[in-house]
Amino acid sequence: MVREILKLGAPILREKAVPVHKYDAALQRLIDDMIETMKSAKGIGLAAPQIGVSRRVIIVLQDDKPLALVNPSIVQEEGLDESEEGCLSIPNLYAIVPRPSYVKVVGSDPKGKRINIEAEGLLARTLCHEIDHLDGILFIDKAYPETLHWVQPGEKSESKAG
Ligand code: NI
């Protein structure tokens, strides 16, 4: 089911999300809804708090396929990449955000099986952006302020927003 994406100002976007302990049907439903919602918004990532659920679950697009990560954390990061980024919860605002150019992330799949991901470039950026959401951090907190800019709706694809 496509869910409403909450926008800047919704208190849950500023809260620390709660770890998942039960790998059950409710978790799978949440993940299915998040994937549908992300696709519908044409985003490249989504975090559970963005649909009003304070759980540590994210979806990222990996090679154009949605990947669900439960309780993800960054265990290693290297380098610096300064690129443009946006957020589905702050539509039409973009900015340059400094991120590591490489990250190693550990987490679990929807069944509770351990996953390790190494990522560079846009996928590394998306992982950082979505994991920040789980701690109530938004890209505007880390963006270079002078680079923040609005675009007309539809002028830019959501291919940089998560
Ligand atoms: Ni976002």
pLDDT tens readout for residues 103-131: 999 999 999 999 999 999 999 999 999 99
Per the annotation, the verdict on 155 as an active-site residue is no
Give the distance (Å) from ligand 1 centre to CA of residue 88: 5
Give the distance (Å) from ligand 1 centre to CA of residue 159: 12
Domain ranges of the chain: 11-150
Q: Which two tokens stand for residue 79?
A: 């380098």
The domain made up of 11-150 is a member of CATH 3.40.190.10: no
- Residue 159: pLDDT above 80? no
Give the distance (Å) from ligand 1 centre to CA of residue 124: 14
Q: Which two tokens stand for residue 56?
A: 């540590």
Whole-number pLDDT of residue 42: 92
Strand runs labelled E in 18-154: 45-47, 57-62, 65-78, 81-87, 90-99, 102-108, 114-120, 149-150
**Predicted TM-score (pTM) of this structure:** 0.96
60 CB-near residues (< 8 Å, 6+ apart): 44, 45, 66, 67, 69, 123, 126, 127, 130, 162
- Residue 157: pLDDT above 60? no
- Separation of alpha carbons 41 and 145, rounded Å: 26
Give the distance (Å) from ligand 1 centre to CA of residue 115: 22
Give the distance (Å) from ligand 1 centre to CA of residue 112: 24
Question: For the chain, first and last CA: distance in Å?
Answer: 18
- Residue 152: pLDDT above 90? no
Helix ranges restricted to H, the chain:
25-40, 121-133, 139-142
Q: Are 83 and 125 in contact (CB under 8 A)?
A: yes
Q: Kindly name the residue from 4, 130, 155, 158 that is annotated as catalytic.
A: 130
